[in-house]
Amino acid sequence: MYEEILKASTRIAGRIHTTPVQTSAAADAWAGKQLFFKCENFQKTGSFKARGALNAVLKAKDENPKLKGVVTHSSGNHGQALAWAARQAQLQCTVVVPEGSPLVKCNAIQSYGAELIYCAPNPQARYFITEKIVAEFAFLFVPSSDHHDVIAGQGTIATEFLSQVPDLDAILVPISGGGMTSGIAVAAKNIRPETKVFAVEPEGKDLQASLMAEQRLWKGEPKFLDTIADGIRLQQVDHLTFPLLCKYAESTVFSASDEEMVSAMKFIWQQMKIVVEVSSSAGLAAAVSSRMKEVMPELKKIGVILCGGNVDIDKLPW
């Protein structure tokens, strides 16, 4: 997988932004550690998702020049990214989104030329409609995380980050399906094995138990968590990402409540003057948590992934 990440870096170079790393003395004081914020909220389409989507689309078109289009289901950020990537590759794109998705994200998907189809707010409805579109139009399904080329694209965050700050002790990554976290973990462990990669989840995901057991302990069908962080509300990580997480990421997982994420989000807006969505604040919430101080006191230089900035400013959570 690391070789695929390096190929992805070459494939998408020149089409995406090299995102900056920001620091904050106030954040360092709050955490009691040196924090380095990787600003993927400044990425094309406003989130890290552009990396994986573009890598998958460009590779697919290279392998199949007759490809007509692509389809996905997404709560917003991946949908925007795939719509943008499809336009880059001159392909059609359809995005299935659950009812109630942030309007700012839905409008952006359409602004990139994609067709938007709404579905019931549950994973099963998204899967059903997406499969119908694949069958009817022969479009390629590009999931938000459970795809090797998407994972490889997200892994370029770490190759870039560790070239900017080579001696990070740890990287904190908000997690939903696990594409970004697994890609970063694979890359980081190959570049600097001593760098620890931690997933940061919304409360209720219970990822740590599964990682420690190295088996999927979730029962029943996938579902959405009841969290304000719409970008990371998927309860279960995906099937391709899970074994990569078990092998390359730390089994310790940090959980953040809605209140903790909103507090961290407000800090980033007020103190750092950076627009981020709630999901992006999960890493800072973990960095300043009492649990971080208790279980990982030796960590001094910590990378925090600000994964996206697609927030509806008419509906801020405070």
- pLDDT for the residue numbered 310: 86
Structure tokens belonging to residue 154: 């997200």
Q: For the domain bounded by 49-141, which CATH number is listed?
A: 3.40.50.1100
Which residue, among 300, 204, 183, has the nearest Cα to 261 in the 3D structure?
Answer: 204
Per the annotation, the verdict on 75 as an active-site residue is yes
- Identify the residue whose tokens are 């892994």: 155
Per the annotation, the verdict on 49 as an active-site residue is yes
Check if 1-48+147-305 and 49-141 are the same fold.
Answer: yes
Structure tokens belonging to residue 153: 């694209």
- pLDDT for the residue numbered 200: 98
- Say whether domain 1-48+147-305 belongs to CATH 1.10.10.60: no
- pLDDT for the residue numbered 312: 79
pTM recorded for the entire structure = 0.93
Which residues make Cβ contacts (< 8 Å) with residue 150, sequence separation at least 6?
52, 53, 55, 56, 142, 143, 144, 179
- Contact call for residues 103 and 83 (beta carbons, < 8 A): no
Amino acid letter, residue 60: A
- The one catalytic residue in 33, 38, 44, 49 is 49
User: Would you list the domain boundaries of the chain?
Assistant: 1-48+147-305, 49-141
Say how far apart CA 25 and CA 123 lie, in whole Å. 41
- The one catalytic residue in 75, 210, 280, 289 is 75
Say how far apart CA 198 and CA 12 lie, in whole Å. 26
Which residue, among 300, 73, 299, 40, has the nearest Cα to 155 in the 3D structure?
Answer: 40
Residue segments in the chain with a per-residue pLDDT below the cut of 70? 75
The pair phi, psi for residue 225, each rounded to 5°, is -80, 155
